Structure 1
Amino acid sequence: MSTDGDGSCGAGAGGNEAGAHRELLDLVLWGKEHGLGTPYPLICHLLDTAAVARALWADMVAPGFREQIAGELGLSVADTGRTVEFWAALHDIGKLTAHFQAQLGLPAGYPPPGHETPGHDRVANLWLASALERLGYPGGRRPLARLIAELLGGHHGRFHRIDPGDLRPAKLPFLGLGSGKWDEQRVATMNVLVEILRPAVPVTTLSRPSAVAVAGLVMLADWLASQTPYIKTRLDDVPRSGTVVELRRFFDGCVSAAPGLLDKAGLTRLRLRSGSFAEEFPAFPPNVLQASLAEQLPSAVTGPGLLMIAAPTGFGKTEAALFSARVLGAAAGRAGLYLALPTTATADQMFTRVARYLARRGVGDVSQALLHGMAWLSPVDEMIAKATSVEEISGDRETRARFPEWMRGRKRGLLAGVGIGTIDQALLAVLPTRHNALRMFALAGKTVVIDEVHAFGPYMRSLLVTLLGWLGELRVPVVLLSATLPAHVAAELAAAYRGSSAPGTLPQPVVPYPGWTYVQRGTPPVSHALPFPAEQRRRLQLELRLVEFGADGQPARLSAVTPEFTALAAQGGCAAVICTTVAQAQQTWGALVAWREALPEPQRPRIVLLHSRFPAWQREQITAEATSVLGRDGARPERLILVATQVIEQSLDLDVDFLVSDLAPIELLLQRAGRLHRHPVRDAARPAWAAAVGNEPRRMVVLTAPEADLTRIPDAWSYVYPAAALIRAERLLRERETGGITIPDDVQEMVDRGNPGDFPAYEDPLLIGFEKAEVERGADVMVEQQFAHNRRIPEPSRLLRLAELSAGDMPPEDHAATRFNADSVRVLPCYEGVDGALRLGGPNGETLPVPDAQGRLSRAELISVMRHTIPVSGHLVLGRGEDHVLPSPWRDIWPLGDLVLLRHSVDEAGQIGTARIGDREFVLDADRGLVEVKAE
């Protein structure tokens, strides 16, 4: 086929007025039928999809991404849009086979199916490779026609591995595609689409990363156009004949209807007001970090880039990131935003803060999604309404943040203009899961902000490196936030983003502490060290305190900190104790409660326990109360001791007068220290025993074994953290036990020495006598990195075929490993009385809701059940059997079928028995959460 003078594909059989009125397509050949009551012609579905793709290109796809694709294809943005909608229209052309059409009865006069019965997506891949080549698509070592065929063959979320020999036209009839009338209808369908859509012929080829993102766009267009309620609205307009004239008239109706589909789904482009930092955040003047970015960043940004910010907790990094993301996004033509947080709790908190920001700075409708495994339990609409009803919100009254119902479907939330969720949702894009291309497309139109980067272990960091490589190739701006960022990690992440385009002569980026560094591909990094505000400069006194270990190997924390807690009881104050494991936190809480009973009533502090093994509703309640009373402006209690695990380590706004922590890696100890005297506004009210002297706060006590004796470090500590990291931390602290740690001067050096890199540092002075521990750390790092290498998709420069994105068994997203050894499952504690009924929350609690006649529960009923669930490590429930699965009909309802049932028997006297799984026994305690009885 030839091209017209304007670069568009020739009209083929329908290229003249007479041909336009000649019936070319057989409308008996259907594309959709389920739920419609009548077959829907295939060409109608293809035109629907083209119209939706046109609307997406115009109203949702980021301008920078449109320009990128156009530049790669050698076309204008307008011509590229017509070409992309043509590709989208071709996605289901593989349904023109005997195998597919015979599902509703083989049409008269068409050859029957042969022995081969390939799926219609695979047929599209096979047939289009040569069909697009005949349109004049560029050839060479990597022919564009084959790439687009592979792209469209993956529209169901999985790309196919095709033998190149099978792409020869002469072989196609023997692979189940059929010949004769089947091939005639495929050719005629393509000709009609060319005539109606007038696509341009690309001049050059498309990069593999861009092809992946375009595949995601096609998947989205297909999803929207395949909605049964929408198709029903189009049934009355189905043409009576397959002429170009009638089909063009039908397409005009598709074009008119498509924007409404996007609006209902919330697929609109994010628009933010430009302005100074003071205009974006009028409630407070910019601090030194925020002022530096506001003054220096805009001139440094000339295109897509990577911004790395390292600063202490409480330094306003969130506001700095939002401002910077807008600046970077505007320069790169990326309108959307995704904020990736380490945990579901921190994502929930950030969601509210961002909703307020959008209410002030957004223009028009803004779709805002909460994204994590349990996000559907959150009352998102209430969270948005509450956040945007605050009096100080003074934005455009027409600004409306919403989380549309369509986006709450699985895999869709990342398509929102603004997403707030866990880092896992972004990392899923670089794992071989179905529809990973849709995630890549969603990210391609955004600026991505990733918080708490220092908390990533080797496995997650390897996945992050792969993700940054893809985001760099897709020209996606990225902001990385960290309280402490080791130099070798900063260099690794920057190199990943720069990719192969970075000249070898460019200097290594160094992120000053506190400060920021901006990196663009092919240009030297720009760094700015920040002068530390005098009022925030301080000397942190850390005291290493030996702790005794009981016969059970558990540390006796109470005896180690009795002097401080006695003073707290007498004078008042708020303290926190951070334990390494849930069992140790429960034990410590119990010891403190017993200690409190011996005190006079007025001196008894409240003892609060917070960890991950509370029912969801209870953990949310405890977290909300803790952040309320220990935050910057909360009504502070007179006496309180918070006992917790690492859940309070990051992103929670907590301020305590005194802090006790188990030994941990140095960067985590410094992070925890950020909870000590966090808000200067609280200083005047601190009790005398914990008050600061000048700028030196009260000590942070770190519990340790004698001289970091490996034989005395609890197994649980070295199971959670590498023993070498604990030894390094202990010796770094001993070096400064007398003089203290000057913040910020000493932080970067301590972080770098505590994190020497992935390769074993055999001659590290900090590990003299413990070289074996460093060898073990190196081995563990290699295991995690290899684990990541075996599971992630290839780096962009190594991707030869899109099929490599779908290699292996493609686990469902719920089982994809975004974290190393994170085999978390959810347990549901239930109480089973003599009547056999299962109750939630206690022996007298509500019974499990009863499914309706169709075996379904309402969303509210599902939420009421899931809010009683608890996440635990998979090893705790090894040996579970049939008795640990909900009975029918509950087990057949998503997501209840995946829950592990913990049956607590209740006898006639009301006595509650333990729940058993294998040789483990559990009990759900109202104060301590889920307790493993043997652990006591």
Structure 2
Amino acid sequence: MTGEGEGRSGLRSVLGGPVLTLWAKHDRDSEGWLPLWQHLEDSAAAAGLLWDRWLPVSVRRLIGAALPGGEADGRRLAVWLAGVHDIGKATPAFACQVEQLADRMRAQGLEMRSQGAMGSDRRLAPHGLAGQVLLGEWLEERHGWVPKRVGQFTVVVGGHHGVPPEHGQITALDSRQHLLRTPGASRALWRQVQGELLDACAETFGVRDRLDHWRTVELPQPVQVLLTALVIVSDWIASNPDLFPYYPQDIPRSSTERAEVAWRGLDLPPAWSAAEPLEDAQGLFSSRFGLPPGAKVRPVQEAAVELARSMDEPGLMVVEAPMGEGKTEAALAVAEIFAARSGAGGVFFALPTMATGNAMFPRLLEWLKRLPAQERTRHSVLLAHSKAALNEDFADLMRGTHRLSAVDVDAAPVRPWRPSDSSRAAPADLVAHAWLRGRKKAMLASFVAGTVDQLLFAGLKSKHLALRHLAIAGKVVVIDEAHAYDAYMSVYLDRVLSWLGAYRVPVVVLSATLPAGRRRELVEAYAGVGGQGAATGAEFDVVAQAGEYPLLTAVAPRGLPVMRRPAASGRGAPVRLERLDDGGEVLAERLAKELDGGGCALVVRNTVKRVLETARVLRARFGDESVTVAHSCFIDVDRAAKDAALLRRFGPPGKATDRPTGPHIVVASQVAEQSLDVDFDVLVTDLCPVDLLLQRMGRLHRHQRGEEQSDRPPRLREARCLVTGVDWDADVPAPVRGSVAVYGAHALLRSAAALLSHLDAGENRPVRLPEDISPLVQSAYADGPAGPDGWAEALSKAAAQHEKQRADQADRAATFRLGGVGRAGRPLFGWVAAGAGDADDTRAGRAQVRDSRESLEVVVVQRRADGVLTTVPWLAADRRGRQLGGLELPQDQVPGLLAARAAASSGLRLPIQFSYAEVMDQAITQLEELYVPAWQVKDSHWLAGQLILALDEDCQTRLAGFSLRYSKADGLEVTRA
């Protein structure tokens, strides 16, 4: 074999003899290969280019701050670690794997046993761990480092395949030196070539004279994580033969030229470089969000901007303000200021559900398009959830992006990028970049909207966790609907916040209804209370004691909290609360009275079963055309259409184009609580936790319709909320069983107690929004007694059960939760030990960070009488006018792209009945009977591996002892067979 690059500069110019026969890559199909020195040089070059042209300023600053030479040292260290990351391949345990390449080494005196003869011991010397050991020996023997300082650097090499080694693995390899160097006459030669290569890397990558300066450094654990992640990304890029060709292909003679050609092929958009906006709050909001003429920025928004600008260092800001106050816009404005001041290179907007993520994504794109021209270079953008490819806005970006062969094994390969593709850039240079679509790399995009799971995964011990940390360490993180996360999720969120504080990542937390105790937990987690050099918990008492509303709370990493108390916008209105007995006929009679003169009512039920039962009764009274159903058990495309229709009919004045003129009732589950800007004349709701009830009330008289609501029906111009789903005549209010199953008796009884003064007819005191929001929430979540004396026993029993459940949630969440930030200098050995393996956005992955049973997801199709499978018939045409309903899905071949994507858009998460182990196993067995081998190929990525639920021509089927019926109007209805 030839082609070792004679005449090159770099490593090749200082190496000779047996070291040149060490190999790093081999393609069994083409017999192409890559010398180890070349791969190390390629990886180092990739690291240097990533540092110079892609890595956010904030990450470079954090790494540089840990080293005596600042960012210049940071770059040298990153390049050097990438340049030595595969030194463990200079061992017999690795080299023996390809016999012809091993023979070439043997011919130069590097003896080794065959792979078979080496036996199972080879598994004890993976090349990452072997490289960690070799680099540690070299630092100690050649440069006099003390052992306790070595691990914090070498762990980057040991962990570059996603899992830092554990102490037991290191010990096991120490006792098997034959895996690192063949015993006997060639042992000295192995040691010589290993040392020669490490010496050459130190010289070539510019660290030989810096190693003495780094001997006493204590690298913070966050810096170790970021360096590990940077080496992983560099290795993945350098391992792509489309970018860095294997020998004996024609390779540019200059290593610099080779790297530049690869970088042009990769074509990664740079990190965002934000400039701090100079306008006042009014000007900033007008330019970024297009305020209508004469509209004024709201007090909360103005205060958030001023607080962001006044902080000594960007940190955590908690924004508590009423629904409809423009918290999203405030968060983006603060993110722009924080990014400019911190050097963050992007924004991650974390939301509670896929639906809210989909709703946020176009708003994020619109904001990006309104950034100043100098900031609107090419940006990588991502919608981060498992069904993002079905989102039309994201699909448009994907259709317009550059294409490139994927690097890691998790992403399907696509055709190589060609220069002519540059003409296909997405509008405003927003790019869903192909290389950033693999599930392990996707979050590295600069601007991301997605589910909060993606953030919580950063607190879950899992493989390649360092990449998730790099992804969030370089961004401003916005966490929306913070009240929506239960105790289980909060265990992960608090741990992630502690790491974000250590990375000095700016964070904005948004909530309309946040309990004071939870506010304190969030602030303390970020500030590192209890950690080395952090403030004490007592200094945060003010955070839990503040009762004002709206409220802004801010804290810098390791800092003390500051608070602002802006005025409300004055947009609120009193809402009269009233008890309503439970029962469908009672509800129908009351709504007939309320809607006698027309109007739009929202009825919110706590379970899908109650939604459908209620809808049947109301349709019998008002007619099918006057009742709309919305809940979570619709196929994806129908759910999206429901949300769009709700906005079109019940959205803000000027945007809603089809508001009903006659009576209309929407019966919905909890999907009506979050991120839908809809406005109703009257609200009926099942009793629920008070913060969620207030969220539901935020859909009541949300917008002004005429002077003093004169455009609403006369009897509905006063906002009224009827609370039902409870036996109000019992000695202690008794919520219906389904509500207790969802929320627990404790939260429901505390909610009822907090609302008593507003429900009692004698006092008849309305809920004043926003003034009463915080008092109600703090009362419901306080630790003291609540309600009348006669409720005490029931509340005490419910509280005991609640505390037991919370403790159980916390214990279960802690099983795979990442540890806290360790002291500086402590290596990351065992960082993700006993972890969850790979964590990703699948039903199993989400179940790890949410307190939910693993759910079953299916693709819904229809089976005609002749046995042919088709997409469900009611699917509307796509944006290009192509019909999607009723398309045939052949079982003897891969369906066409249009039909396959249309079928995939009909995904459905089965309800909780199918989440119990025995029922789930039975359901999976039955679903797997419809197994189509032709669909299980790489060209069928829309349908491969999917469970297919086939409905008959009446849209019905049976599954695991249940009867299933689906309709476009009502979604999925499940009954016992």
Is 1:278 aligned with 2:313?
no
1:638 counterpart = 2:661: yes
Q: 1:493 to 1:809 in 2, by over 3 A?
A: closer
What secondary structure does 1:830 align onto?
Answer: strand
* 2:38 counterpart letter in structure 1: C
State the match for 1:287 in structure 2. 298
1:446 to 434, 454, 475: 475
1:636-785 matches, within 5 Å, as: 636-639=659-662, 640-681=664-705, 683-692=709-718, 697-707=719-729, 712-737=734-759, 738-756=764-782, 767-770=791-794, 771-785=796-810
Q: Does 1:410 align with 2:442?
A: no
Please give the TM-score of this superposition, normalised by the length of structure 2.
0.83
Contact 1:212 1:802 in 2 (8 A): no
In the alignment, structure 1 residue 932 sits paired with structure 2 residue 926: no
Residue type of the partner of 1:869? G
Is the Cα–Cα contact under 8 Å of residues 121 and 154 in structure 1 kept in the other structure?
A: yes
Q: Is the 8 A contact 2:628 2:667 kept in 1?
A: yes
Please tell me whether the aligned partners of residues 627 and 653 of structure 1 are also in contact (alpha carbons under 8 angstroms). Answer: yes
- Can you list the C-alpha shifts for 1:29-66, whole angstroms capped at 9, x where unaligned? 23242665511222222211111111111122222221
Offset of 1:169 from its aligned partner? 6.8
Equivalent-residue separation in structure 1 for 2:9 and 2:861 (angstroms): 70
Q: Which residue of 1 aligns with 2:574?
A: 539
**Aligned counterpart, 1:829:** 860
| 1:152 partnered with 2:181 | no
Identify the match of residue 308 of structure 2 among 291, 297, 305. Answer: 297
Residues in 1 aligned to 2:932 and 2:319: alpha-carbon distance in whole angstroms: 52
Question: Take 1:398 and 1:763, find their aligned partners in 2: how far apart are those partners?
Answer: 57
1:329–1:24 distance in 2 versus 1, CA, 3 Å: farther
Give matches, 1:184-199, under 5 Å: 184-199=192-207
8 Å Cα contact 1:91-1:152 kept in structure 2: yes
Partner of 2:813: 788
Quote the offset at 1:656 in angstroms: 0.7
Write the distance in 2 (CA, Å) between the matches of 1:333 and 1:713. Answer: 51
The equivalent position to 2:351 in structure 1, one of 341, 345, 348, is: 341
Question: Structure 2 CA distance, aligned partners of 1:532 and 1:731?
Answer: 26
Secondary structure of 1:268's partner? coil
Task: State which of 125, 129, 135 in structure 2 corresponds to 1:122.
Answer: 129
Q: Is the 8 A contact 1:384 1:401 kept in 2?
A: yes
- Taking structure 1 as reference, are residues 928 and 399 closer, same or farther at Cα in structure 2, changes over 3 Å only? closer
Structure 1: where are the runs of 5+ without partners? 1-13, 240-248, 388-396, 548-555, 598-603, 907-911
The reply on whether 1:903 has 2:903 as its aligned counterpart is no
Aligned to 2:369: 359
Are residue 313 (structure 1) and residue 323 (structure 2) matched? yes
How has the CA–CA distance of structure 1 residues 665 and 637 changed in structure 2, closer, same or farther, with 3 Å as cutoff?
Answer: same
Partner in structure 2 of residue 227 of structure 1? 240
* Residue 521 (structure 1) shift: 3.2
Give the alignment's TM-score, normalised by structure 1. Answer: 0.87
User: SS where residue 508 of structure 2 aligns?
Assistant: strand
Structure 1 residue 405 displacement after superposition: 1.8
Distance verdict in 2 for CA 1:220–1:873, change over 3 Å:
farther
* Post-superposition offset of 1:377: 1.7
Q: How far apart, CA to CA, are the structure 1 residues paired with 2:338 and 2:352?
A: 23
Give yes or no for the alignment of 1:208 onto 2:221: yes
- The 5-angstrom pairing of residues 382-397 of structure 1 reads none
8 Å Cα contact 1:662-1:703 kept in structure 2: yes
CA contact (8 A) 1:546 1:705 kept: yes
Residue 513, structure 1, aligned to residue 546, structure 2: no
Aligned partners of 2:136 and 2:785: how far apart in 1? 52
Following TM superposition, by how much is the alpha carbon of 1:612 offset from its aligned partner in structure 2, in angstroms? 1.2
2:926 to 883, 888, 894: 883
Contact between 2:726 and 2:733, CA under 8 Å: does it hold in 1?
no
For 1:621 and 1:377, locate their aligned partners in 2 and report how far apart those are by CA, in whole Å.
Answer: 13
Name the structure 2 match of 1:838: 869
Aligned-residue offset at 1:91? 1.8
**Cα distance per residue 1:169-215 (max 9 Å; x no partner):** 78533568774444333322222222221123225121112211221
Cα deviation, 1:877-920, whole Å, max 9, x if unaligned, reads 522243312413135665645543333345xxxxx484222222
Structure 1 residues 864 and 100 mapped into 2: Cα distance closer, same or farther (>3 Å)? Answer: farther
* Shift in alpha-carbon separation, 1:564–1:433, aligned structure 2, 3 A: same
Report Cα offsets for 1:357-402 as digits up to 9, x if no partner: 1111143112111101111222335666999xxxxxxxxx995212
Q: For each residue in 1:706-730, what CA deviation from the matched residue of structure 2 results, as whole angstroms up to 9, or x when unmatched?
A: 2566794322111110111101111
Task: Name the SS for the 2:278 alignment partner.
Answer: coil
Query: Are the equivalent residues in 2 in contact too, given 1:212–1:437 (CA < 8 A)?
Result: yes
Matched, 1:867 2:905: yes
- 1:558-601 deviations in Å (ceiling 9; x for gaps): 42352333442x3221111111111211221222211124xxxx
Deviations 1:218-259 (A, max 9, x none): 1111222222311238864559xxxxxxxxx64322442354
Deviations 1:72-128 (CA, angstroms, capped at 9, x unpaired): 122221122011111012222222233433332122423224342132223223322
Q: Is the 8 Å Cα contact of residues 365 and 401 (structure 1) preserved in structure 2?
A: yes
Distance in 1, Cα, partners of 2:892 & 2:204? 50
- Once residues 872 and 537 of structure 1 are traced to their aligned partners in structure 2, the CA distance between those partners, rounded to angstroms, is 39
1:762 Cα offset (Å)? 9.8
Q: Deviations over 1:258-303 (max 9, x none)?
A: 54255x233533545623233433122311111112334302x222
The one-letter code of the counterpart of 2:277 is S
Overall identity of the aligned pairs, in %: 27
Moved more, 319-328 or 219-228: 219-228
Kept in 2, the 8 Å contact 1:823–1:874? The answer is no
The answer to whether the 8 Å contact 1:880/1:917 transfers is yes
Pairing of 1:603-614 with structure 2 (within 5 A): 606-614=626-634
1:392 is aligned to: none
Aligned residue number for residue 52 of structure 2:
58
| Larger deviation, residues 648-657 vs 793-802 | 793-802
Structure 2: runs of 5+ lacking an equivalent: 1-7, 401-425, 875-884
**Closer/same/farther in 2, CA of residues 671 and 82 from structure 1, 3 Å limit:** same
Find the aligned partners of 1:818 and 1:761 in 2 and give their Cα distance. 32
Which of the numbers 233, 239, 253 marks the counterpart of 2:257? Answer: 253
Q: Distance in 2 between matches of 1:502 and 1:357?
A: 36
Instruction: Give the AA of the match of 2:503.
Output: L
Give the distance between the partners of 1:705 and 1:349, measured in 2 at CA: 37
Per the alignment, do residues 888 and 92 of structure 1 end up closer, same or farther by CA in structure 2, a change over 3 Å counting?
Answer: farther
Distance 1:440 1:700 in 2: 46
Residues 271 and 364 in structure 1, CA contact (< 8 A), matched pair in contact too: no
Q: Distance in 1 between matches of 2:836 and 2:304?
A: 45
User: What residue number does 1:243 align with?
Assistant: none
Output the amino acid matched with 1:704: V
Task: Give the Cα–Cα distance (whole angstroms) in 2 for the partners of residues 15 and 359 of structure 1.
Answer: 44
> What amino acid is the match of 1:506?
E
**Counterpart secondary structure, 1:659:** strand
Q: Aligned equivalents of 2:76 and 2:54: distance in 1?
A: 15
TM-superposed deviation, 1:743? 2.2
